[in-house]
Amino acid sequence: MLKAGIPLGSIFGISIRLHYSWFFIFVLVTWALADGYFPASYSDWDTATYWGIGLATSILFFLSVLVHELSHSVVAQAAGIPIKAITLFIFGGVSQISKEPEKPDVEFRMAIAGPLSSLVLGGIFWVIHVATLNVSEPLTALAFWLAWINAVLAGFNLIPGFPMDGGRVLRAIIWWRTNNLRRATRIASTIGRVIGYLFIFGGIFWIFWGNWLNGLWLVLIGWFLENAAAGGYQQVAFQDMLRGHRVSEVMTRDCPVVSPKLTVEQLVQEYFLNSGRRCFPVVDDGRLMGLVTLNDVKAVPHELRPVKTVRETMTPFERLKWVRPQDDLSDVLQLITTEDINQLPVVENNSIVGMVARDNLLSFIRTRAELGYKRKYPT
């Protein structure tokens, strides 16, 4: 979901994006500052000052959130973990990480970097607040609120529930002590889910007492945390069960291929409608040219389908994510999750030998679980 958004540019090779939900929280924060906090705290400003300082404070707040996420990402890149993008959304910011840390010390450094950066920013804004006390009241007010909110941001993120920064710090410590990532994730995720439920119950309590806006907001945060904590543990558990197994064990062989010369209309009528499949490898003279999916076809207007070719519609091989028969299934699950894709071609010696889909992995996990097989190798 968070892959969609408006690109703003890149910093340190990391793409920065705004998710559409960010605009709602930006407007809400700006309004709360300009029409609530600043008028209540400083009664002698004019309307233009309230809204000007409110807007400036809101922008600097979200830049602070971006710095927080960049701190995680820079530490990750220094450890050899690529970061594809940072997306600002309604609940803050999230980094699109290419793979999870393989060592607890890397996890610890990545997790603690965000709260530390927020504390540093809080200190900088506090110095500005003190330095401008007798210079400009609006500037002093702006700096004070930003110092306070960055301290709150650091403290909130240090709550020891996965997947928050504090939960990741806790997971890293337990992982280091036990040498068991799955156990560490289970403990940190359980705490994260409990915290999520506490937020939800606290929000409901506030709603019943008439503070419906803050109560609803707390419920939404709690719901988000609970779901993220549960999903984080599930991801690690699935990877644990898949580790040591190869793509060749689950891939679909002898999958039908299509020619790049077909029109999109022919592709729909002769392949998609007759097979029920959602994607087809595109092959020419035995060489994999790309992959065409149902989403690719849906993007082509109906009137163009009789004339537009598969070659023009497919994702070309150069941009394609693919795996080999000998690749570990835990790495495949990480790739599918990170890239938010449903299927991958399996390539050997520049030729396609099969397909592996998210459903193949889930079916493999479900069958082994039903038969009582937990994992091939201990973690």
Is there a single domain that holds both residue 201 and residue 112?
Answer: no
Q: Check whether residue 238 and residue 255 sit in a common domain.
A: no
The residue out of 221, 242, 263 marking a domain boundary is 242
Please state the domain count of the chain: 3
pLDDT of residue 339: 81
Domain with residue 252: its CATH number is 3.10.580.10
Dihedral sign (CA 46, 33, 118, 62)? negative
375 occurs within a structural domain: no
Residue 44 shares a structural domain with residue 146: yes
Which residues neighbour 182 within 8 Å (Cβ) at sequence distance 6 or greater? 236, 237, 240, 379
Q: Is the pLDDT of residue 378 over 60?
A: no
Please give the Cα distance from 232 to 189 (Å, whole number): 7
Confidence of residue 379 (pLDDT cuts 50, 70, 90): very low
Mention every residue, 6+ apart, whose C-beta is less than 8 A from residue 46: none
As a whole number, mean pLDDT of residues 157-163 equals: 91
Binning pLDDT at 50, 70 and 90, where does residue 31 land?
very high
Range of the domain at 103: 1-158
Q: Clarify whether residues 35 and 110 are in a common domain.
A: yes
Q: Within this chain, do residues 2 and 131 fall inside the same structural domain, yes or no? A: yes
Q: What is the pLDDT of residues 5-25, one digit of tens each?
A: 788 888 988 999 999 889 999
Domain boundary at 216, 242, 268, which?
Answer: 242
Which parts of the chain fold into alpha helices (H)? Answer: 22-32, 38-41, 47-78, 104-131, 137-157, 165-178, 181-208, 212-242, 264-267, 273-275, 294-298, 310-313, 329-339, 358-370
Residue 32 belongs to some domain of the structure: yes
Answer whether residue 196 is part of any domain: yes
Average pLDDT score over residue span 87-110:
88
Residue with the larger pLDDT of the pair 140 and 320? 140
DSSP lists the bridge partners of residue 258 as 282
Distance CA 257, CA 49 (A): 64
Phi, psi of 292 (to 5 degrees): -115, 130
| pLDDT above 70: residue 166 | yes
Let me know: does 72 contact 118? Beta carbons within 8 Å: no
Phi, psi at 61, each rounded to 5°: -60, -45
Q: What is the band of 94 on the pLDDT scale with cuts at 50, 70, 90?
A: confident
Q: Average of pLDDT values for 62-91?
A: 92
Paired tokens of 230: 């549960």
* Interval 97-113 mean pLDDT: 91
* Torsion angle of the four alpha carbons 275, 279, 284, 290, in this order, in degrees rounded to the nearest 10: 180
How many angstroms separate the Cα of 138 from the Cα of each of 40, 46, 50, 57, 132? Answer: 13, 11, 9, 10, 9
| Predicted confidence (pLDDT) at residue 376 exceeds the cutoff of 70 | no
Q: How confident is the model at residue 3 (pLDDT cuts 50, 70, 90)?
A: low
51 and 173 fall within a common domain: no
Instruction: Answer with the one of 223, 242, 261 that is the final residue of a domain.
Output: 242
Question: Residues 269-273: what's their mean pLDDT?
Answer: 90
Amino acid at 356: V
Verify that 78 and 44 share a domain, yes or no.
yes
What is the value of pTM for the model shown? 0.80
Q: Identify the DSSP state of 308.
A: -
Which pair of tokens denotes residue 195? 């915290």
* Phi-psi group of 286: left, alpha or beta (phi > 0 → left; psi -120 to 50 → alpha; rest → beta): left
Q: Do the beta carbons of residue 61 and residue 26 sit within 8 Å?
A: no
> Per the domain annotation, does 379 fall within a domain?
no
Q: Any residues with CB less than 8 A from the CB of 235 and at least 6 apart, and which?
A: 333, 337
Residue 378 counted as domain residue: no
Looking at the fold, whether 68 and 149 belong to one and the same domain comes out as yes
For the chain, what is the mean pLDDT?
A: 90
Give which of 128, 159, 121, 161 is closest to 142, Cα–Cα.
128
Residues 211 and 356 occupy one common structural domain? no
Most confident of 213-217, 220-224, 371-375: 220-224
**173 and 222 inside one domain:** yes
Q: Is 166 in the same domain as 154?
A: no
Amino acid 368: pLDDT: 83
Q: What pLDDT is attached to residue 254?
A: 78
pLDDT at residue number 306: 94
- Does residue 313 fall inside a structural domain? yes
The pLDDT tens digits for 127-150 are: 999 999 989 999 999 999 999 999
Does the pLDDT value for residue 2 go beyond 60?
no
Query: Are the CB atoms for 292 and 256 separated by under 8 Å?
Result: no
Across 90-99, 179-188, 330-339, 351-360, least confident range: 90-99
The H or E element containing residue 346 is strand 343-348
User: Are both 194 and 324 inside the same structural domain?
Assistant: no
With a cut of 60, say whether residue 172 has pLDDT above it: yes
Secondary structure element (H or E) that encloses residue 103, with its range: none
- Give the pLDDT band of residue 324 (cuts 50, 70, 90): very high
With 0-12 CB in 10 A as exposed, 13-18 as middle and 19+ as buried, what is 171?
buried
